[in-house]
């Protein structure tokens, strides 16, 4: 579970380096918003793959908690 969290955060960090600073996804990542919020902005900004990966990671983590 901890490994998935760390991998997802690392993925976000790397993704952030490659997107425009002024897009809502970048601002959301910079604010350290929850993954679901970042995913929503990513979807709105057209970053479908990262949005889906964040949603899958969140779902998998929630599965382990419950």
Instruction: Quote the CA–CA distance of 38 and 23 in Å, as a whole number.
Output: 11
Burial of 58 (0-12, 13-18, 19+ CB in 10 A): middle
pLDDT of residue 19: 98
* CA–CA distances in Å: residue 47 to residues 15, 44, 62: 10, 8, 23
Residues comprising the chain, all counted: 66
Sign of the dihedral through C-alpha 23, 24, 25, 30: positive
For the full predicted model, state whether its pTM sits above 0.85: yes
Give per-10-residue mean pLDDT for the chain (66 aa): 94 98 98 98 98 96 86
pLDDT of residue 21: 97
């Amino acid at each position: 579970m901890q490994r998935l969290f760390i991998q997802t955060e690392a993925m976000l960090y790397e993704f952030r380096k490659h997107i425009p600073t002024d897009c809502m996804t970048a601002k959301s990542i910079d604010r350290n918003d929850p993954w679901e919020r970042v995913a929503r902005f990513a979807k709105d900004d057209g970053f479908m793959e990262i949005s889906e990966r964040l949603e899958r990671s969140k779902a998998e983590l929630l599965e382990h908690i419950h």
